[in-house]
Amino acid sequence: KQEVTQIPAALSVPEGENLVLNCSFTDSAIYNLQWFRQDPGKGLTSLLLIQSSQREQTSGRLNASLDKSSGRSTLYIAASQPGDSATYLCAVKAAGNMLTFGGGTRLMVKP
Amino acid sequence: SAVISQKPSRDICQRGTSLTIQCQVDSQVTMMFWYRQQPGQSLTLIATANQGSEATYESGFVIDKFPISRPNLTFSTLTVSNMSPEDSSIYLCSVGGGTLGDTQYFGPGTRLTVL
């Protein structure tokens, strides 16, 4: 059974810092990995999708990497801003189109 | 991308009653899913809504408790039946496939509180 772990569970940083969120998964037989953002009481916003054949994806200040063989992904946020404060979730897709989610990293960026 | 709406956005219900949640997407999609997010926890897949046939349920979820309909490629409903306080969660509709490719998109969620 696939298990997804995110570290740290919570993170508080001053504005302007570069930061890294970590995601690990136990079964490397995945189709893709997706990073989401969730604001309190809201749904999920898709940030980046990395196919199993890819190593990284970039969107603006966000960069996600994938090392499928070691079961790891990182989300790098450059020059963090207070508006980046949210919970960040990673999810892996394997057979059957099912997404397995990690527990999330709750990020607070202080002005 | 996809624009997904859910109704209601939130509700407070009495124990023993049922609530039907609607999910509407602005384009035809191959896959529709229903997830649950219990307070302070991550998302758990309830079922895959299949057009024109019975939904496929994940372990721990059954049709009698969570009946699902999907009459066409843009609409689905999830009913939470005979509710108890343990059903208090956010219920999220998700779509993917077709013109959306491999990215999975989520609706805004329905926040359910059962008293």
Which A-chain residues 30-89 have CB contacts (< 8 A) with chain B?
A: 31-32, 34, 36, 41-46, 49, 51, 89
Q: Do B106 and A104 touch (CB under 8 A)?
A: no
Cα B24 from Cα B49, distance rounded (Å): 13
Q: Do A104 and B48 touch (CB under 8 A)?
A: no
Residue A44: what residue type?
L
The CA distance from B108 to the nearest CA of chain A, in Å, is: 4
Of A34, A19, A24, which Cα lies nearest the Cα of A2? Answer: A24
Provide, as residue numbers in chain A, all residues whose Cβ is less than 8 Å from the Cβ of B58.
98
Q: How much of chain B exceeds pLDDT 70, in percent?
A: 100
Provide, as residue numbers in chain B, all residues whose Cβ is less than 8 Å from the Cβ of A33.
none
**Chain A touched by B38 (CB under 8 Å):** no
**Chain A touched by B61 (CB under 8 Å):** no
B83 class by beta-carbon count within 10 Å (0-12 exposed, 13-18 middle, 19+ buried): buried
Write down the pLDDT at residue A42.
Answer: 85
Residue A41: pLDDT band by 50, 70, 90 thresholds? Answer: confident
Residues 6+ apart with CB under 8 A from A60: none
Judged against a pLDDT cut of 90, whether residue B53 lies above it is answered with no
Tokens of B17: 């009653």
Judged against a pLDDT cut of 90, whether residue B97 lies above it is answered with no
Q: Average pLDDT of A27-56?
A: 93
When mean pLDDT is compared across A46-50, B44-48, B95-99, B111-115, the lowest value belongs to B95-99
Give the CA-trace dihedral at A63, A68, A70, A73, to 10 degrees: 20
Residue A87: pLDDT band by 50, 70, 90 thresholds? Answer: very high
Of B103, B115, B111, which Cα lies nearest the Cα of B37? Answer: B111
Q: Do B108 and A102 touch (CB under 8 A)?
A: no
Provide, as residue numbers in chain A, all residues whose Cβ is less than 8 Å from the Cβ of B44.
101
Q: How much of chain A exceeds pLDDT 90, in percent?
A: 90
Cα B50 from Cα B56, distance rounded (Å): 7
**Residue A95 CB: number of other CB atoms within 10 A?**
10
Write down the pLDDT at residue A92.
Answer: 96
The CA distance from A56 to the nearest CA of chain B, in Å, is: 15
Tokens of A89: 């979730």
- Do you find a cis peptide bond into B67, omega within 30 degrees of 0? no
The CA distance from A69 to the nearest CA of chain B, in Å, is: 21
**Residue A58 CB: number of other CB atoms within 10 A?**
11
Q: Do B103 and A41 touch (CB under 8 A)?
A: no
Q: How much of chain B exceeds pLDDT 90, in percent?
A: 78
Q: How far is CA B91 from the centre of its chain?
A: 6
Cα B93 from Cα B95, distance rounded (Å): 7
Separation of first and last alpha carbons in chain A: 41
